[in-house]
Amino acid sequence: MEVTDGQTDRLVWPTTRLSVAQPAGLGRDLVLVHGIEPNMRWRGFSSELVAAFTELEVEIVILLGALLADSPHTRPVPVSAGASDADLAARLHVEPVDYKGPTGIVGVLQHACATAGIPAVSLWAAVPHYVAQPPSPKATLALLHGVEDILDISLPLSDLPDEARAWERGVDELAEQDSEVADYVRTLEEAKDATDLPEASGDAIAREFERYLRRRGDRGEHGGR
């Protein structure tokens, strides 16, 4: 509801929008779905989206989500993935995830896609729980990198990398003002660094190098833009 000077100007109903993007040089269309998690009738909501995916002959659905975790903001945002079937997981080199418990609309929609025979993969960014207030540009950037890896493309990121760095600096400044928070962040950093395996770090470096090569190739194709 928008009210100005005591007078109702406009009522805006929440909605979910489907848009079709045709990035230059990609060789495929992207169907973008943007909306908020519905409060009710998840089965009907998922059925309508799956029907649209089927009509548009969608080849794969990538769902993006975030969860709160004991993850330090000073380290790369961990992104876990879950595929609709073992063959898809193997093809995308997605690590298997074991989970039993409550789910949100992302999990419901992924299950609906799998039931309809549409390959689906969900990406989950682990956002530090002590800075849970959205937006989190660093988490958004990590999710988009995951999409790039799955589709083997380079996405236009605009100012997002700069916003991610500014976000991290802002959290640094807030943590420095509270010694308990600063100590807690250092504890998380030590735990994270201790559990990161050398081979996992090597895989991350390889993925980053592949992204660099894709972006350099895109700049060459589009005249250095």
Kindly report, residue by residue over 170-201, the tens digit of the pLDDT.
988 888 888 888 888 888 887 777 776 555 55
Phi, psi angle pair for 82, to nearest 5°: -135, 125
d(CA 126, CA 224): 34
- Kindly state the greatest CA–CA separation across the chain: 62
pLDDT tops 50 at residue 225: no
d(CA 108, CA 118): 14
Q: Which of 4-8, 33-37, 41-45, 219-223 has the highest mean pLDDT?
A: 41-45
pLDDT tops 90 at residue 91: no
d(CA 38, CA 172): 34
Using the 8-state DSSP alphabet, how is residue 222 labeled?
A: T
pLDDT tops 60 at residue 221: no
Q: Which two three-digit tokens encode residue 5?
A: 């000077």
Q: Which fold has domain 2-221?
A: Rossmann fold (3.40.50)
Closest-CA residue to 77 (of 143, 155, 147, 174): 143
d(CA 46, CA 110): 9
Q: Which of 57-61, 73-77, 202-206, 208-212 has the highest mean pLDDT?
A: 57-61
pLDDT of residue 193: 75
Closest-CA residue to 96 (of 115, 122, 73): 122
